[in-house]
Each structure stands twice: as structure tokens, then as C-alpha cells.
Structure 1
């Protein structure tokens, strides 16, 4: 009888509800604060529940290279189509009225800079993904805990791609790096800010 009671007490005390999002990846979750470990026990590594031994997502949570490329192409279209429309309007206005053409040219230039520099950082920091990535079911996350990047990190992630344009083969290497990178399939711009692209 005592053995049976001891058995059930051990079962109940060791039972834990399985975490809904064990690796911190996928849709952003409300912050959860881990309990302090028992005396003499080391804290769980990387902030992952269940004592995940390494920082970063499991392989099955990583985005495929093809899906990442598709999302990038979609984002290119989302940015370029409105800019082309504005550019055409600018050309039409400039041909009929040069002073108004200067104003529309300035507006076009500001819109171009805003689209290239701020679209991706804002979307990634606020929502975890650009429109292209959301359509493809992807999300950009911090490697350490799977949460959204800060705006500064998201901005740095974009700016490094522009810097690599001026390095011979830099942009090509940046894009292709995720095809052989292990274990997190990171591009060079991911490595600079410790980000990773995962399935949403």
C-alpha cells in the first residue's frame, strides 16, 4: 500500500504540461519566465523549455532555401511595383511641367529610400515578417530565443546586404550562404545580427 502511494506521488510530482511552443519559434508567444532551478541544478540552456541543449531552433523549424528565395522575390515585387508606378507618374508630370517634375522626383527619391531602408526592418521588428515572408509562411527571429528582432537589429540586417553589394561577389555569397550553412541555414546578414528564418 505504501509503495503504491509513493508511486503515484512520484508520478504526479514529475508530471509537467507539455509546452505549447517548446522552442520559442513559430508565431510570437507572450513572454514566459522560467522558474528557478532546484538547488544544485544548472539553469536550462538558451532559455528553452525542457532543457534544450543548444541555442536556436530545431532543424524542422527552419525555413527552406527555396521558400526564402520565393519570399525575397515577392518582397521585391511588392516594393518595385509601386515605385515603378510612381516613377511613371513622375515622368509624365516632368514632361508637362518641369517645376512640378522636380517635386515629384524628390517624392520618388524619398519613397525609394524609405522602401529600401525601412520597409523590411519595420515589418520584421513589428510583425516578425515582411509581406513576402508572411505569404510564404516564414518569420525572422532572434537565434537566441525565437522572438522578433529589435528595430536596430532588423535595420542592421538590411544595411549589411547593401554593404555587401560593394564587396566583389559579396551579395551573391550572402544569398547562397544559407545553402551550405549548418546548423541554422543562415545567410551572412543573419549571422551579423544573430537572426534566423523559421517557419511561422
Structure 2
């Protein structure tokens, strides 16, 4: 070896220098984007309340109308008694009340109150209408929360502080979100 080579000899190689560089990190698809609607499409909590009140009025009118029809058919007003017709009327009114929200949410994505307020319920994953089972779960959770003192109020108000999709508990249970129709 020449003197030049000895004097300017390269330092010993770094053991880490010859290791293969780590492969570039590519996050899995959907890592940066979460499923769900854009935040500007979410329903205003005030409009959600108005829609719920409209539905309450419509369902109450249906119950009162069904009760009056059943009372008329049962002969409460002094007419002939028609037990079978009255019972069918009562069962029909009960089924209408129980199926009003789940069927309309599944079929059209909105109840009549939500349609008036230009809102709709959507699946969080793809924006489609919820399946019938999910719509039933959503309604059952809502009804169960309202059956306990103050829990229904907390459920309804939970959309004010929930992030990022302003979901109430019944929305979370059904994996749904309420959005504006025009967005």
C-alpha cells in the first residue's frame, strides 16, 4: 500500500451504512380520509330539533285520529259495537306509530318532518339510506332513551358536542348521520 493510500485511508465502514434503506411507508387506503360526509353537509342541530317536533306532531295526530276512528268503530259514541273493526283500527294505528320512522328512514332516508326540513339520514360509510334493521335499531334506541327521565334529553343534545359528525346516541348505534339534502 502506498503512503498516500495509508494516509488517506477511508475510515472503517459504518455497519449501518450497508443496510438496505427502509421501504417507503405508504399508509393503507383510506388512512387520511375517514368515511362519512364532509363536515359542511352535516345537519344543523336546530333543524334536527324542528324536524323531530314536526314528526311528533304528525305522529300525535295519527294516534289521535286512530283512537277516534277506533272509538267510533267500537261504538263508544252510542252506535253499534263492532269489536273486530275497532280492534283492527287500534292495531293498525299502533303499527303505524311503531313503523312510521323506521320504514320511512329505510325507504326514503327521511321522515316527513325531516323531508320538510330538507334533512336526511344516511349511512356513515357510503351515504346510502340505512338498512331496515339499522333504522329499527336507531328508532328503538331513541325510544328507549326517551323512556328514561332526562336520558332522552341528553341523547337529543349529544349532537351539540359530538365530534366530528354531530351524532346522537341513536345515530351512533345505527352507524348513521343526519345531513342536509341540498349538500
Question: Contact 2:63–2:97 (CA<8 Å) still a contact in 1?
Answer: no
Match of 1:7? Answer: none
Pick the aligned partner of 1:151 from 114, 132, 151.
132
Q: Does the alignment pair 1:193 with 2:166?
A: no
Q: Answer yes or no: is the 8 Å Cα contact 1:83–1:108 preserved in 2.
A: no
Q: Which residue of 1 aligns with 2:84?
A: 103
Q: Which residue of 2 aligns with 1:45?
A: 30
* Structure-1 separation of matches of 2:136 and 2:170: 11
Q: What is the TM-score normalised by the length of structure 2?
A: 0.74
Per-residue deviation, residues 63-97 of structure 1 (Å, max 9, x unmatched): 00111111111112222223312322333432324
1:167 aligns with 2:148: yes
The one-character-per-residue Cα deviations of 1:121-140 (angstroms, maximum 9, x if unpaired) are 11111111111111111110
Contact 2:119 2:179 in 1 (8 A): yes
| Secondary structure, counterpart of 1:95 in structure 2 | coil
- Structure that is richer in helix per residue: 1
Match of 2:66 in 1: 86
Q: Which 5+ residue runs of structure 2 have no aligned equivalent? A: 1-24
Counterpart of 2:162 (choices 181, 194, 197) is 181
- Kindly name which structure, 1 or 2, has the bigger radius of gyration based on alpha carbons: 2
Shift of 1:104: 4.7
Unaligned runs of 5+ in 1: 1-39, 47-51
- CA distances 1:93-134 after superposition (whole Å, capped 9, x unpaired): 32324632x435423432332223211111111111111111
CA RMSD of superposed structures (Å): 2.2
Q: Retained in 2: the 8 A contact 1:117–1:155?
A: no
Runs of 4+ in 1 over 4 A off after TM superposition: 40-43
What aligned pairs does 1:116-155 form with structure 2 within 5 A after superposition?
116-155=97-136
Q: Aligned residues, how many?
A: 155
Check whether the contact 2:70–2:90 (CA below 8 A) recurs between aligned residues: no
